[in-house]
């Protein structure tokens, strides 16, 4: 009697439509996370500078900020003493000294003065965030993402600068500003679609049920074939069936509502856009940034607190109708920074909360999200009262995947472009200079 023979290619092709032999990972929903956590960066910007006690030429670190961040001091480095040469170059152009706030924003992230000919020609160089996004993470679902919590109410935009200069710090190149989201729901829908987490879980449960049904069908079919095999092949088939049964057990054990990091979060809802909802929108944007990092949707995030000269009425105890910008100039006459310090303290506390949230998230391969991320919390001025571009402060939180040494206060005689060049090289971007930046700031590195 002729031995029954099975054409292996036919067998695999016939079952491959339902089980993808010989690999079975497709039968189990994946989180799509890397084996080790990726390195990420977020640039978090607050406007109007700092209320430095000694004003222009103050060479000390901003102690009030350090006090607020005292319980997380081991997780960040304060780099201060930097200046922006590009700001000085741009401000010295004819007429542009009338708009220091505009000049500070258009030069900060590129460390380079733009080519400007009137208020409609936005001849911007590519900013540091977009260099990283385009040269390192161009294959990501979102090479970069960005938000501006408070974009409305642009006060005091001088005619030398188009309004777009105040609305964004981040540029892909001339006439190409990065889109920033100012409504959490719009960003949520971009990241996760319009479905909520309940709908997502129901859909995932249906997919699991279908996969189990397909696996049951395939196993019945294989058992029929097994009866026709010889002893040696039957042993191999038994081993194969055992592996299939384990796959089935894994599918059954998967929870209906998974607690994995990439489960779709609840929608933030349609938060009304006005100053009174600023705290809610601020918190929602922080949470969406963290979720985007968790799901590896992006590794570069731009976060503007608001534009230069922005108004505010959300900090308790402030005189109604007075703007953050106005408070930043009280030191000109009264030499007191009490009100401005309240506003700045509010934002430093928000930064602290963000650090703690990221520090609480353990990641694949060890460490926390904060360990694997570099947060750059900064402004475009040193002293806001005098519009001084010296003694600029950069709070560098996290270890950036082990590349940076937190827990320090470092004073450096350097250009802001030197910091951007340092970060670019740490991300693998091959540059020997960036704008006015020509050297590496080694003191911040591990």
**Residue ranges covered by each domain of the chain:** 8-14+199-253, 40-195+275-444
Rounded distance between C-alpha atoms, residue 190 and residue 5, angstroms: 53
Question: Could you give the 3-state DSSP secondary structure of residue 420?
Answer: helix
**Mean per-residue pLDDT for 368-393?**
94
241 pLDDT higher than 80: no
Query: Which residues, 6 or more positions from 436, have their beta carbon under 8 angstroms from its beta carbon?
Result: 84, 85, 86, 89, 111, 112, 415, 416, 417
Residue 359 belongs to what H/E stretch?
helix 338-359
pLDDT > 50? residue 12: no
The pLDDT of 280-305, averaged and rounded, is 96
Q: Tokens for 25?
A: 């990972």
Interhelix angle for 184-192 vs 278-294, to 10°? 20
Higher per-residue pLDDT: 294 or 340: 294
Task: Tell me the average pLDDT across 140-153.
Answer: 88
Q: How is 228-291 classified by DSSP, letter by letter?
A: TS-HHHHHHHHHHHHHHHHHHHHHHHS-SS--STTSPPPP------SGGGHHHHHHHHHHHHHH
pTM recorded for the entire structure: 0.78
- Going by C-alpha positions, the residue among 59, 64, 79, 43 that lies closest to residue 405 is 79
Measured CA angle at 15 (ends 12, 20), to 5 deg: 80
> Across residues 135-156, what is the average pLDDT?
85
Average pLDDT over residues 313-338: 70
Mean of the pLDDT values across residues 388-404?
95
Q: Retrieve residue 354's tokens.
A: 């963000």
Do β-strands 408-411 and 300-304 pair in parallel, antiparallel, or remain unpaired? unpaired
Spatial distance between the Cα atoms of 32 and 17, rounded to a whole number of angstroms: 22
Reply yes or no on whether the pLDDT at 22 is more than 60: no
Per-residue confidence band for 220, with pLDDT thresholds at 50, 70 and 90? low
DSSP state of 117: S
- Residues 114-135: b if buried by 16+ CB within 10 A, e if exposed: bebeebeebebbbbbbbbbbbb
Residue % of the chain over a pLDDT of 90: 49
Q: Is 50 helix (H, G, I), strand (E, B) or coil?
A: strand
The predicted model gives 216-241 an average pLDDT of 68
Instruction: Read off the pLDDT band of 2 (50, 70, 90).
Output: very low
Given a cut of 90, is residue 102 above it in pLDDT?
no
Q: What is the fold, at CATH topology level, of the domain defined by 40-195+275-444?
A: Alkaline Phosphatase, subunit A (3.40.720)
Whole-number Å distance between alpha carbons of 256 and 133? 36
Backbone angles phi, psi at 80, to 5 degrees: -135, 175
151 versus 182: the higher-pLDDT residue is 182
Cα–Cα separations (whole angstroms), residue 420 to 80, 137, 237, 350, 433: 14, 17, 59, 24, 9
Q: Give pLDDT, residue 190.
A: 96
**The pLDDT of residue 9 is above 80:** no
Smallest CA-to-CA distance from 52 within 261, 252, 340, 439 is with: 340
| Residue 32 falls in which region: left (phi positive, over 0), alpha (psi -120 to 50) or beta | left
């Amino acid at each position: 009697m002729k031995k029954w023979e099975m054409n292996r290619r036919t067998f695999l092709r016939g079952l491959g439509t339902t089980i993808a032999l010989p690999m079975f990972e497709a039968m189990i929903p994946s989180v799509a996370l890397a084996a080790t956590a990726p390195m990420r960066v977020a640039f978090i910007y607050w406007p109007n500078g700092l209320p430095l006690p000694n004003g222009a030429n103050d060479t000390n670190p901003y102690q009030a900020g350090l006090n607020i961040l005292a319980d997380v001091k081991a997780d960040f480095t304060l780099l201060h003493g930097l200046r922006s040469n590009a700001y000085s170059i741009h401000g010295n152009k004819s007429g542009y000294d009338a708009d220091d706030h505009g000049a500070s924003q258009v030069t900060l992230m590129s460390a380079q003065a733009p080519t400007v000919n009137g208020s409609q020609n936005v001849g911007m160089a590519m900013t540091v965030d977009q260099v990283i996004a385009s040269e390192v993470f161009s294959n990501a679902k979102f090479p970069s993402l960005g938000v501006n919590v408070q974009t409305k109410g642009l006060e005091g935009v001088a005619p030398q600068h188009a309004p777009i200069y105040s609305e964004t710090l981040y540029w892909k190149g001339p006439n190409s500003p990065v889109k920033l989201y100012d409504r959490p729901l719009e960003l949520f829908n971009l990241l996760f679609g319009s479905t909520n987490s309940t709908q997502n879980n129901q859909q995932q449960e249906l997919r699991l049920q279908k996969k189990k049904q397909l696996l049951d069908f395939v196993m019945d079919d294989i058992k029929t074939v097994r009866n026709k095999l010889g002893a040696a092949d039957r042993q191999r088939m038994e081993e194969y069936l055992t592996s299939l049964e384990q796959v089935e057990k894994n599918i059954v054990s998967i929870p209906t509502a998974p607690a994995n990091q990439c489960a779709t979060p609840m929608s933030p809802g349609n938060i009304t856009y006005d100053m009174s909802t600023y705290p809610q929108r601020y918190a929602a944007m922080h949470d969406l940034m963290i979720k985007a990092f968790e799901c590896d949707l992006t590794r570069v995030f731009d976060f503007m607190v608001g534009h230069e000269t922005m108004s505010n009425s959300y900090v308790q105890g402030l005189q109604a109708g007075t703007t953050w910008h106005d408070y930043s100039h009280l030191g000109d006459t009264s030499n007191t920074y009490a009100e401005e310090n309240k506003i700045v303290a509010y934002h430093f506390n928000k930064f602290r909360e963000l650090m703690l949230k990221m520090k609480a998230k353990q990641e694949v391969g060890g460490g926390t999200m904060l360990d694997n991320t570099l947060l750059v919390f900064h402004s475009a001025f040193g002293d806001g009262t005098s519009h001084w571009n010296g003694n600029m402060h950069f709070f560098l939180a996290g270890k950036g995947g082990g590349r940076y040494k937190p827990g320090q206060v470092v004073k450096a005689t350097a250009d802001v472009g030197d910091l951007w060049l340092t970060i670019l090289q740490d991300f693998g971007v091959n540059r020997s200079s960036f704008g006015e930046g020509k050297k590496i700031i080694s003191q911040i590195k591990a």
